[in-house]
Amino acid sequence: MNYEPVIGLEIHVQLKTRSKMFCASPNNPDETEPNRNICEVCTAQPGSMPVINKEAVHMAILVGLALGCEIPEYSKFDRKNYFYPDLPKGYQISQFDQPICGAGIQVVEYEGKKRPIRITRAHLEEDAGKLIHEGSTTLVDLNRAGVPLLETVTEPDFRTPAEAKIFLQNLRNIVRYLGVSDADMEKGHMRCDANISLRPAGSQDLPPYKIEVKNLNSFKSVEAALNYEIKRQSEMQESGEKLTSQTRGWDDSKGITVEQRTKEQAHDYRYFPEPDLPIMHFIRGDVEKIRAELPELPAQKEERFISEFSLQDRDAGVLVNDKNLAAYFEEVVSELEEWFKEERLEADIAKLAKMAYNWISGDLQALLKIEGIDPQNSRITAENLAELIKMIHQGQVSTTAAKRILEVMFETGGDPSHVAADEGLSQVSDEVAITAVVDKVIAKNANVVADYKGGKKQALGFLVGKIMAEMKGKANPQVASRLLEEKLH
Amino acid sequence: MDFHLATIKELRQGLDSKRFSSAELTKYYLDRIKKFNKDLNAFITLTEDLALEQARAADKRIAAGSQEMLTGIPYAAKDLFCTRGVRTTAASKILENFVPPYDSTVVARLRAAGAVLVGKTNLDQFAHGSSTETSYYGPVHNPWDLERNPGGSSGGSAAAVSAGLVPFALATETGGSIRQPASLCGISGWKPTYGRVSRYGVIAMSSSMDTMGTVARSAEDLAITAEAISGFDPKDGTSGKLPVKAWSKNLTRSMKGLRIGVPQEYFVPGIEKDVKEKVSMAIEEIRKLGPKIIEVSLPMTSYGSMVYAIVTPSEISSNLSRYDSIRFGHTTDKANDLYELYAKSRAEGFGDEAKRRIMTGAYALSAGYRDAYYTKAQKVRRLLVNEFHEMFKKVDILLCPSTPNVALKIGKAADDPLFGYIADQLNIPASLAGLAAMGVPCGLGKPDDGAAVSLPIGMQILGPQWGEELVFQVGYAYQQITDWHKQKPVGF
């Protein structure tokens, strides 16, 4: 039988607020000394009380608006009660039935097909601390306890693991564009649980069970775990085994999921409204003010790159995936436009943009990766890269020479014309100079010239090579080739 | 001078005119506590060194002329208020050795005002009770009859003020825990509007009802203490932003034209004869001042105890979860795994009443039952709040008895888990509605069993939310024409 996967996601994103969700302790995910960023509130000392972090609320609304979610007129916090040593109060302050962001929608594009994914809700809550196991003892580090999390829940609308992965990447891009999270899955800034079940192809019903997969710490593991589950569940169904709801954990090293908890062992969290916090009321005007703060979002930017610069879908996607790279690209293109306008030259924006894209996503990004830095932090300013591209465009340097110039610029921060001169990499396009060398090469290679005239066309390449060698590679090969052909006719 | 008979206002005048110093005053009270506490068990912890240090600092401040109303005035705090560096037990075993790293906002405000903390008073364990008998540190004895309990849960604070061991004390109320012990000990007690005084740093019982107030010798003293501890606190998300007025300077007000309601539901069946008589007499006294006395009905209030019996344990079950032995508090030495660490530490550390409320609350909140219990109780609570809201459009203030009886014998409550719930009928509705309230002494009487004792009886003054000004004014007016608040227990 053919099966169709039914997949939904729950994604926790750590918000980059200055202080924690309910107290003034610093929110610093990079703190390495345990129990440094703590106070009486996030360690749940008797009598301490939470207060709502306005910055976190603001960030949550920004994300909600970016995801197309409804922002309700009011929202409240609830207590989710359970015992665990990383949860100091014995309850997590979360949101149960009045989340800060209501239903929304996001379009996912996979293999050229666009499909809407419904977002159920997004709610604010606090993170737990961390347990450190040392031999037979377990230590508690509460630096992370109380860090704000925004949990986004989708409807079971994904039909392939790849769609789920793309959705996650889109969400990561959105929160990065909004500046509300670094959303680095490997660092735990963004965590994903996936629900997956299978139904017979063509069926519209939700399957009678649901497998929740936890411990997905990278985009790759999300896709791999879901693919694994599709295989596992379809094999079970084929062999007539009945699937029941359970929670499974992904083991990245073994590439398998392992049972953690069955439905019978499910917690009763005894949710009830958090009496220590007031209900939040959102005035329409305030929400609209926040909406006005929304920057251009990744999807909008991608569309604009395609329409404005005639970039390929794929190329636009690569740029948009990295907010900083996209910004750098735009700067380079805009510098190029300036140059061409100033020099009253006819500029083919599509061609220049394509060149800029190739240089940025290719050679420049390779250099950036080695150093592990953003383009904004490299020594190559957008203006200098634009100048280099202009020099290539005008034939002042060869592509080969330009690669070398880029490396020098990356190391020293010099501007490309100086680097080209210093390194002797300027390309000669001066026809008088090249003509002199052409004449010399023709005179020295009478046999080859005769071969060419006798119909052996490939002999031309040999002669061009001789010219280049004579000029130590600095001749513009197109100009040399043209002049040579003119002479030989 | 008999300091222990003096009001805060009188002590203030004495300190300011340099007739005595705060150090002398503090030593005087510390001596009295040492002398009488073995009979009363009103204090769990004495803070003698801290008190003398604060008293000396207060004397310097007074010498420099920068004193406030409470500078140099000794006080006690119910042992539910976190005090930096001073053990705070909630009268429990589980917090027997807990020393808070921070001050509750109220204590911090009193510290800043220069008041002198002499000790931490006894209470029902985690404030669960209305007799101060559930304390891990033993019951408190009522100064009016040592065989009787002082009420609760603020029984230690009420007994301490009643016996003249401090001029005022911090207390808390969730459902009568200020008004009831104040009444049974013959003193005045203020239960603030919910949100008027910061809850920050006070060990939580039921967060949606907990209020932090004071007990003292008069309405005027209560107004003085209220000014010092009230007001918005950014650390308490439920505290209100309404301004704190100079209530103690604005106590005189004509009762003429005032509409005073007497709710018939508060004269419940089973109310003792003397209590009913004395409260009725008090209302007649007030009538002479010229207000309009109106008989009113608040039918929803009869559901108050039932709502309370669900909402309170629900919140308690969650609020007590942090006592898991991991970061502070009693830890069992018999645990083999994490589950046992939780179960045994909590089983050993909590008293019966706490366990009873945790179980009741966890049940009321559990999946499948929450709608039938917790959610429905909150809906009824809303109706009750609305009823008070409508009532305060018709009347300005309500008068009624604080308790259905005079103080009971110690031990009477112990075998009856429902003890207090009936008496709570008179206190709980105002707590559920977050009203401003005060209890004032209004006579002495004997219990219905005819015992040959003369015990205090109290009347409560209920105002609307944020109605402190009027509540203090009515209490003050009554105390201008009567002397019941000046009665003292024999032997103290």
Q: What is the CATH number of the domain that holds B138?
A: 3.90.1300.10
In a mutagenesis test of the B interface, which of A25, A35, A276, A279 is the best target, namely the one with the most B β-carbons within 10 Å?
A: A276
In a mutagenesis test of the A interface, which of B241, B316, B324, B330 is the best target, namely the one with the most A β-carbons within 10 Å?
A: B324
**Does A8 reach chain B within 8 Å, measured CB to CB?**
no
Helices (H), ranges, A92-218: 161-178
Is residue B152 situated within a structural domain? Answer: yes
Tokens 């001050």 -> residue: B103
- The chain A residue lying nearest B240, using CA atoms, is A278
Amino acid B185: pLDDT: 98
Which of A258-267, B51-60, B144-153, B374-383 shows the lowest per-residue confidence on average (mean pLDDT)? A258-267
Is the domain spanning A431-488 CATH 1.10.3720.10? The answer is: no
* Average pLDDT of chain A, as a whole number: 92
Sheet holding A113-126, edge to edge: A104-110, A113-126, A148-154, A3-14, A190-200, A211-216, A246-251, A256-262
Percent of chain A exceeding pLDDT 70 equals: 99
Predicted confidence (pLDDT) at residue B484 exceeds the cutoff of 80? yes
Tokens 């209220």 -> residue: B226
The one-letter amino acid code at B204 reads: A
Q: Are B122 and B246 found together in one domain? A: yes
| Domain end (from B318, B345, B376) | B376
Residue B366 annotated among the catalytic residues of the structure = no
Amino acid A200: pLDDT: 93
Residues of A in contact with B101 (CB under 8 A): 40, 45
Place A456 in a pLDDT band, splitting at 50, 70 and 90.
confident
**Does A313 reach chain B within 8 Å, measured CB to CB?**
no
Burial (Cβ within 10 Å: 0-12, 13-18, ≥19) of residue A43: buried
Place B441 in a pLDDT band, splitting at 50, 70 and 90.
very high
Percent of chain A exceeding pLDDT 90 equals: 74
Q: What is the pLDDT of residues B68-96, one digit of tens each?
A: 999 999 999 999 999 999 999 999 999 99
- How far is A247 from A476, CA to CA, in rounded Å? 65
Predicted confidence (pLDDT) at residue B135 exceeds the cutoff of 80? yes
User: What is the b/e burial string over A150-183, where b = at least 16 CB atoms within 10 angstroms of the residue's CB?
Assistant: bbbbbbbbbebbbbbbbbbbbbbbbbbbbebbbb
Closest CB from B98, B234, B367 relative to A51: B234
Residues of A in contact with B374 (CB under 8 A): 272
Phi and psi at A56, nearest 5°, equal -65, -40
Place B189 in a pLDDT band, splitting at 50, 70 and 90.
very high
Predicted confidence (pLDDT) at residue B421 exceeds the cutoff of 90? no
Q: Hey, are the CB atoms on B338 and A268 less than 8 Å from each other?
A: no
Torsion angle defined by CA atoms of residues B83, B87, B91 and B95, in that order, rounded to the nearest 10 degrees: 110
Give the CB-side neighbour count of residue A276, counting CA atoms within 13 A: 31
Burial (Cβ within 10 Å: 0-12, 13-18, ≥19) of residue A65: buried
Amino acid B308: pLDDT: 95
Chain A residues 45-74 with CB within 8 Å of chain B: 45-52
Q: Hey, are the CB atoms on B324 and A85 less than 8 Å from each other?
A: yes
Q: Are B250 and B354 found together in one domain? A: no
Predicted confidence (pLDDT) at residue B151 exceeds the cutoff of 60? yes
Is residue B407 situated within a structural domain? Answer: no
Amino acid B419: pLDDT: 60
Torsion sign across C-alpha atoms B129, B132, B138, B139: negative
Torsion sign across C-alpha atoms B362, B364, B370, B376: negative
Place B28 in a pLDDT band, splitting at 50, 70 and 90.
very high
Amino acid A469: pLDDT: 83
Residues of B in contact with A47 (CB under 8 A): 80-82, 88, 100, 104, 200-204
For residue A46, the distance in angstroms to the closest alpha carbon of chain B comes to 5
Q: What is the pLDDT of residues A302-341, one digit of tens each?
A: 999 999 999 999 999 999 999 999 999 999 999 998 888 8
Q: Hey, are the CB atoms on A278 and B338 less than 8 Å from each other?
A: no
- The chain B residue lying nearest A87, using CA atoms, is B322
User: From the candidates B104, B135, B177, B305, which is the catalytic residue?
Assistant: B177
Q: What is the pLDDT of residues B244-292, one digit of tens each?
A: 999 999 999 999 999 999 999 898 778 899 999 999 999 999 999 999 9
Is residue B456 situated within a structural domain? Answer: no
Q: Are B17 and B101 found together in one domain? A: yes
Place A343 in a pLDDT band, splitting at 50, 70 and 90.
confident
A465 vs A40 pLDDT, higher one:
A40
Residues of B in contact with A91 (CB under 8 A): 318, 321
Instruction: Write out the residues of chain B at the interface with chain A, using a CB-CB cutoff of 8 A.
Output: 80-82, 88, 90, 95, 98, 100-102, 104, 199-204, 206-208, 234-238, 314-315, 317-318, 320-324, 326-328, 338, 342, 362, 365-367, 370, 374
- The chain B residue lying nearest A93, using CA atoms, is B318
**Does A266 reach chain B within 8 Å, measured CB to CB?**
no
Which of A455-459, B47-51, B358-362 shows the lowest per-residue confidence on average (mean pLDDT)? A455-459
Which of B118-127, B205-214, B447-456 shows the lowest per-residue confidence on average (mean pLDDT)? B447-456
Residue B218 annotated among the catalytic residues of the structure = no
Predicted confidence (pLDDT) at residue A479 exceeds the cutoff of 70? yes
Q: Hey, are the CB atoms on B237 and A88 less than 8 Å from each other?
A: no
Residues of A in contact with B98 (CB under 8 A): 46
Delimit the domains of chain A by residue range.
Answer: 3-292, 298-422, 431-488
User: From the candidates B131, B153, B183, B239, which is the catalytic residue?
Assistant: B153
Chain A residues 135-174 with CB within 8 Å of chain B: 140
Residues of A in contact with B317 (CB under 8 A): 81, 270
Amino acid A484: pLDDT: 86
Closest CB from A89, A268, A270 relative to B322: A89
Predicted confidence (pLDDT) at residue B417 exceeds the cutoff of 60? no
Q: Hey, are the CB atoms on B238 and A268 less than 8 Å from each other?
A: no
Q: Hey, are the CB atoms on A275 and B208 less than 8 Å from each other?
A: yes
In a mutagenesis test of the B interface, which of A19, A83, A139 is the best target, namely the one with the most B β-carbons within 10 Å?
A: A83
Q: Hey, are the CB atoms on A85 and B338 less than 8 Å from each other?
A: yes
Q: For residue B418, what are the contacts with CB-CB under 8 A and spacing of at least 6?
A: none
Q: For residue B312, what are the contacts with CB-CB under 8 A and spacing of at least 6?
A: B174, B175, B205, B206, B209, B357, B361
Amino acid A253: pLDDT: 94
User: What is the b/e burial string over B394-425, where b = at least 16 CB atoms within 10 angstroms of the residue's CB?
Assistant: ebbbbbbbbbbbbbbebeebeeeeebbbebbb
Is residue B94 situated within a structural domain? Answer: yes
User: From the candidates B21, B22, B78, B248, which is the catalytic residue?
Assistant: B78
| Domain end (from B358, B376, B394) | B376
Segment B13-18 mean pLDDT: 97
- The chain B residue lying nearest A277, using CA atoms, is B237
**Does A40 reach chain B within 8 Å, measured CB to CB?**
yes
For residue A127, the distance in angstroms to the closest alpha carbon of chain B comes to 16
- Count chain A–chain B contacts defined by CB atoms under 8 A: 105
Place B414 in a pLDDT band, splitting at 50, 70 and 90.
low
Q: Considering the entire predicted model, what is its pTM? A: 0.91
- How far is B421 from A360, CA to CA, in rounded Å? 76
Residue B326 domain boundaries: 302-376
Q: What is the pLDDT of residues A267-312, one digit of tens each?
A: 899 999 999 999 999 999 999 999 999 999 999 999 999 999 999 9
Q: Taking CA B363 as the corner, what is the angle to CA B357 and CA B364, rounded to the nearest 5 degrees?
A: 90
Q: How many domains does chain B have?
A: 2
Going through A324-466 in order, the beta strands assigned E by DSSP cover none
In a mutagenesis test of the B interface, which of A272, A277, A280, A281 is the best target, namely the one with the most B β-carbons within 10 Å?
A: A272
Amino acid B413: pLDDT: 72
Q: Are B232 and B315 found together in one domain? A: no
Q: What is the pLDDT of residues B361-376, one digit of tens each?
A: 999 999 989 999 999 9
A98 vs A215 pLDDT, higher one:
A98
- The chain B residue lying nearest A46, using CA atoms, is B203
Amino acid B306: pLDDT: 93
Q: Hey, are the CB atoms on A88 and B327 less than 8 Å from each other?
A: yes
Q: What is the pLDDT of residues A53-102, one digit of tens each?
A: 999 999 999 999 999 999 999 999 999 999 999 999 999 999 999 999 99
Tokens 């110093």 -> residue: B21
Q: What is the pLDDT of residues A355-407, one digit of tens each?
A: 999 999 999 999 999 989 999 999 999 999 999 998 888 878 888 888 989 99
Is residue A393 helix, strand or coil?
helix
User: What is the b/e burial string over A382-400, where b = at least 16 CB atoms within 10 angstroms of the residue's CB?
Assistant: bebbbbbbbbbbeebbbee
Distance of CA B340 to the CA centre of its chain: 36
Residue A2 CB neighbour total at 10 angstroms: 8
Radius of gyration (Cα) for chain B, nearest Å? 21
Q: Hey, are the CB atoms on A49 and B370 less than 8 Å from each other?
A: no
Helix (H) or strand (E) holding A311: none
Closest CB from A51, A81, A88 relative to B318: A81
Query: By the 8 A CB rule, do B236 and B199 touch?
Result: yes
Is residue B170 situated within a structural domain? Answer: yes
Which of A471-485, B110-124, B299-313, B375-389 shows the lowest per-residue confidence on average (mean pLDDT)? A471-485
First to last CA, chain A: 71
Query: By the 8 A CB rule, do A202 and A23 touch?
Result: no
Is residue B295 situated within a structural domain? Answer: no
Predicted confidence (pLDDT) at residue A249 exceeds the cutoff of 90? yes
